Amino acid sequence: MKMLINVPERVVEDALRGMAAVHPELTVDVANRVVVRRDAPVANKVGLVSGGGSGHEPLHGGFVGPGMLDAACPGEVFTSPVPDQMVRAAAAVDSGEGVLFIVKNYTGDVLNFEMAAELAAEEGIRVETVTVSDDVALAAGEGSGRRGTGGTLFVERLAGAVAEAGAPLERVTEVARRVADSCRSFGVALAPCSTPARGGPTFDLPEGELELGIGIHGEPGRERRGMMTSGEIADATVDALVNDLRPDEPVLVLVNGMGATPLLELYGYASEVMRALGERSVVPARTLVGDYVTSLDMAGCSVTLCPVDEELLRLWETPVRTPALRWGA
């Protein structure tokens, strides 16, 4: 598997140097692997820190900026970052109003952020943690619990919006938790991804088959099926989502590409998702189509629904200015 890299060991470092070179509005500490918005800490503002394994770009570094994250901690590819990174990030963004950690529910991320929260508390930083576990491919409450995937974007954005408005840590945490609890995602792979360290695909997926219920780390899914049309995939996906949580409010919709699926296909898929939602009386309030929470060069797609009341919808619409999500600024 050919890759546009120098050496596998330096992929994350090289990417961070790239971010540093092209985003003057961010402070990128390449050696310590922390991406911080240039004006941090912002006075009287709760600091938002997230992070996780690399390979999901633009998540999380691409979501650092006004109206979203204050800092991101990228780990090695598909490997959660280490506590030192989160502690450093927390110190960089804490204005005295405290820090919220937004953590995707993977054993590694949870454990490392847990340790970081302890260490940060020892340094006198108030830390709250919200865990995202939105993947309905897995039964809730079983084993390691549900994985955190596309819902993370909505948590980071909506918590970021309310933090930007000056809300205290308790309130920011409450919004983040509410969003994290109500988001649902489901993903499908048509072709596996290849990690730089391994140099080849993380699993085999023969021609004519796809994986339903995949994660974002090259894990195989819960079920393998014969190839389906985009309409059939949309039906299976929306069924999985709506059976888990029939939203009685309008939803923000993320139609997300996993990395190698052309935007042309993704927009076609979006039209099928919209149809499938309509047939199940789910009302889309706003829709994003694009590669936001990826899995390197995996071919496939995921859909995330985030129910919103008027307040959350208003927060969604406030200005955001990050490398990957930007409007009103």
Partner 1 sequence: MEPGTDRDEGTEPTLDADFFIRWLDAAAAAVARDADRLTELDAAIGDADHGSNLNRGFAAVTRRLTEKPPNAPGAVLTGAGRTLISSVGGASGPLYGTLLRRAGKELGDAPRVSRVQLAEALRSGVGAVAELGGAGGGDKTMLDALQPAVEGLTRSFGAAATAAEEGALATVPLRARRGRAAYLGDRSIGHQDPGAASSALLIGALADTATRAADDDGHRGNGADRV
Ligand X SMILES: Nc1ncnc2c1ncn2[C@@H]1O[C@H](COP(=O)(O)OP(=O)(O)O)[C@@H](O)[C@H]1O
Is 60 an annotated catalytic residue? no
- Please report, in angstroms and rounded to a whole number, the separation of the first and last CA atoms in the chain: 40
Residue among 45, 177, 184, 217 that touches partner 1 (CB under 8 A):
217
Alpha helices, DSSP H, located in 123-199 = 151-164, 169-182
Q: Name the binder of 299 from ligand X, Mg ion, a copy of itself, none, CB < 5-8 A by kind.
A: a copy of itself
- Name the DSSP class of 297: T
Name the residue with tokens 């780390």. Answer: 217
* Residue type present at position 123: E
CB proximity list for 2: less than 8 A, separation 6 or greater: none
Is 23 an annotated catalytic residue? no
Query: What are phi and psi for residue 276, nearest 5 degrees?
Result: -65, -40
Cβ pair 228, 210 in contact under 8 A: yes
Name the residue with tokens 């139609």. Answer: 255
Map the footprint of partner 1 across residues 65-84, applying CB under 8 A: 75-84
How many residues touch Mg ion under the rule CB under 5 A: the total is 2
Nearer to ligand X, 199 or 319 (CB): 199
CB proximity list for 64: less than 8 A, separation 6 or greater: 26, 35, 36, 37, 70, 71, 72, 322, 323
Per-residue binding string, ligand X, 69-98, x by CB under 6 A, is ----------xx------------------
Cβ pair 40, 27 in contact under 8 A: yes
| Contact call for residue 50 and a copy of itself (CB under 8 A) | no
Catalytic residue (choose from 60, 104, 157, 217): 217
Nearer to Mg ion, 45 or 56 (CB): 56
Q: Which residues are near ligand X by CB under 6 A?
A: 79-80, 107-108
Q: Which residues are near partner 1 by CB under 8 A?
A: 53, 75-84, 106-108, 111-112, 114-115, 137-138, 142-144, 147, 195, 197-198, 202-203, 215, 217-220, 222
Q: Which residues are near a copy of itself by CB under 8 A?
A: 1-7, 10-12, 14-22, 54-55, 57-58, 62, 77, 190-191, 207-208, 210, 227, 229-231, 233, 255, 259-272, 274, 284, 287-289, 291, 294, 296-297, 299-301, 321, 326-329
